[in-house]
Amino acid sequence: MVNDNWLKLKDLEYRNQQLYCGDQSLTELAQTYGTPLYVVNEDLIRKRYRTIHNIFSNRYSKVRIHYAVKSNSNLSVLRILEEEGAYVDAVSSGEVFLTKKSGFTSDRIMQTGNNWTDEEMQYALDNNIMINLDAISHIHRLKKLCGNSNQQLPILSFRINPEFGDGHHDHCITAGKTIKFGIFEPQVIEAFKIAKECGFTQFGAHMHIGSGILNITSFKKALDKYFQIIRSVVEELDITFEFLDFGGGIGIPYRDSENPLSIEKYADLLISKLQYECETMNLGTPYLAIEPGRYISSEASILLSQVNTIKNNGFRHFIGIDAGFNTLIRPVLYGSYHEIVSLLKTESDESIIADVVGQLCESGDVLGKDRKFSHLEERDYLAILDAGAYGFSMSSTYNSRPRSAEVLISRGHANILIRERESFDDLLLHQIIPDRLKIAGGVENHD
């Protein structure tokens, strides 16, 4: 019941009534690997990366696409993007660790921290990556750590809060006066001044205004403010920049009534502004950096789930599936909408309107409200679309349900499991039982 052309944008189509992703029957995958199952489409990750990279590179000579690791930090996804030549935006030492393990060299990693500890700063210094700070108090701490360990001062950037943000939910707006991120206009000059006095010589400037933005005018408003602030820094301090980073936030069409944001228009907007400002401020040609997460990873994964229960309580229909907010939390956390479709397209006239719910002992465990399905039976499979960003990476073992498996598909290659389904034994991991509470033989041996 979802528009076929919209599905095509995501490399999905019904063939002989069966939903396919690329050349792969999804029912076959669900049967082979079990559910819930995240299916990652390698071709689409590469396609999204290449699209955005080419559009920007065709318009500007020095472009860096920093993939936002937190959207999907699976090692195979990172390997694919490393092969493509991507840079990364890491938000924790753990993400720096994963990207290094995935072959990203230091010069392609930037960490945008928030509430850094000294240990995290030291880890960033030890790994020789670019550092993006968002508190003035951290400059001296960073400088001191460099001094202590006799390390070279890193390329230093500040996250500017342009006082204007946007996003698909309040929690995803990351700029504005009441938001914890970034440094405000009056303090930005001070930050760069202190940094210069501390001996830092290579600089970047950064902003990230929110997530899930489909409206170009939001980017435009923030961009104007960002450059107004940079202008005052340049006039005051005679500084040049290695890079200017405009953050992520590009939304994707989660509903079949929505259209993608035009990357061409977004690039035109950013680059014409960048070129004008660099020329009039004599900034030369800094790297242009953007940090898409969702745009690259979201549409490239779907979550397959099996129907356990179809229930009509007299007031409402419920479709109970084997995925819940333990598997995909976005609908519950942000009220996000994900299209949910049956893997089998039936031409039946009968249809039901139902809430799609998970297995958790939580009445809020609803993945889709008032969804329309034609003929559906228990043990049928559903696909929850656009689950690649902030899907697995936000999943949990709540209710002691082991996390799901992930499988990678790609045209011309055999399907391959890229994350095993967790087991009950994994639920025991890292737990320590005091001797006085131990069962003879140990918990793990007790039947």
Ligand X SMILES: *Cc1c(COP(=O)(O)O)cnc(C)c1O
Q: Which amino acid is residue 60, in one-letter code?
A: Y
Q: Give the x-and-dash track for 379-418 against ligand X (CB under 6 A).
A: ----------x-----------------------------
| Total of residues contacting ligand X (CB under 6 A) | 19
Give CA–CA dist 9/411, Å, rounded.
16
Bridge pairing between strands 301-312 and 381-384: antiparallel
Query: Which one among 10, 143, 225, 294 touches ligand X, defined by CB under 6 A?
Result: 294
DSSP single-letter state for residue 230: H
Q: Establish if 218 lies at the interface with ligand X (CB under 6 A).
A: no
Q: Is the CB of 292 or the CB of 320 nearer to ligand X? A: 292
Interface segment toward ligand X; rule CB under 6 A; list 36-44, 48-56, 292-300, 416-424: 292-300
CA 45, 208, 70 angle in degrees (round to 5)? 45
Q: Establish if 71 lies at the interface with ligand X (CB under 6 A).
A: yes
Tell me whether residue 38 is annotated as binding. Answer: no
Q: DSSP readout, 314-374?
A: SS-EEEEES--TTT--HHHHH-----EEESB----S-EEEEEEE-SSS-TT-EEEEEEEEE
Q: Establish if 89 lies at the interface with ligand X (CB under 6 A).
A: yes
Number of C-beta neighbours around residue 245 at 10 A? 29
Q: Establish if 293 lies at the interface with ligand X (CB under 6 A).
A: yes
Q: Is the CB of 251 or the CB of 368 nearer to ligand X? A: 251
Closest CA to 338 of 296, 301, 367: 367
Q: How far is the CB of 108 from ligand X (least distance, A)?
A: 15
Q: How far is the CB of 261 from ligand X (least distance, A)?
A: 11
Q: Which residues of 267-306 are buried (b: 16+ CB within 10 A; e: fewer)?
A: bebbbebbeebbeebebeebbbbbbbbbbbbbbbbbbbbb
Query: Which one among 182, 247, 320, 388 touches ligand X, defined by CB under 6 A?
Result: 247
Q: Which amino acid is residue 271, in one-letter code?
A: I
Tell me whether residue 42 is annotated as binding. Answer: no
Tell me whether residue 334 is annotated as binding. Answer: yes
Query: Which one among 143, 208, 225, 371 touches ligand X, defined by CB under 6 A?
Result: 208
Q: Is 116 exposed, middle or buried (0-12, 13-18, 19+ CB in 10 A)?
A: buried
Helix %, strand %, coil % of the chain (to 5): 35, 25, 40
Q: Establish if 165 lies at the interface with ligand X (CB under 6 A).
A: no
Residues classed as catalytic: 361
Which residues sit opposite 242 in a β-bridge? none
Q: How far is the CB of 77 from ligand X (least distance, A)?
A: 13
Interface segment toward ligand X; rule CB under 6 A; list 204-212, 235-243, 306-314, 336-344: 204-212
Q: Is the CB of 27 or the CB of 114 nearer to ligand X? A: 114
Tell me whether residue 120 is annotated as binding. Answer: no
Q: Is the CB of 208 or the CB of 403 nearer to ligand X? A: 208
Q: Establish if 291 lies at the interface with ligand X (CB under 6 A).
A: yes
Q: Establish if 91 lies at the interface with ligand X (CB under 6 A).
A: yes
Q: How far is the CB of 69 from ligand X (least distance, A)?
A: 9
Q: Is the CB of 113 or the CB of 324 nearer to ligand X? A: 113
Query: Which one among 249, 253, 358, 368 touches ligand X, defined by CB under 6 A?
Result: 249
Length of the chain: 447
Query: Which one among 250, 367, 383, 409 touches ligand X, defined by CB under 6 A?
Result: 250
Tell me whether residue 330 is annotated as binding. Answer: yes
Tell me whether residue 291 is annotated as binding. Answer: yes
Radius of gyration of the chain (CA): 24
SS3 at position 247: coil
Signed CA dihedral, 198, 204, 208, 209: sign only:
positive
At residue 90, φ and ψ (nearest 5 deg) are -105, 145
Tell me whether residue 294 is annotated as binding. Answer: yes
Q: Which positions make up the binding site for substrate?
A: 294, 330, 334, 362, 390
Give the footprint of ligand X on this chain (CB under 6 A): 68, 70-71, 89, 91, 112, 208, 211-212, 247-250, 291-295, 389
Q: Which positions make up the binding site for pyridoxal 5'-phosphate?
A: 249, 291-294, 390
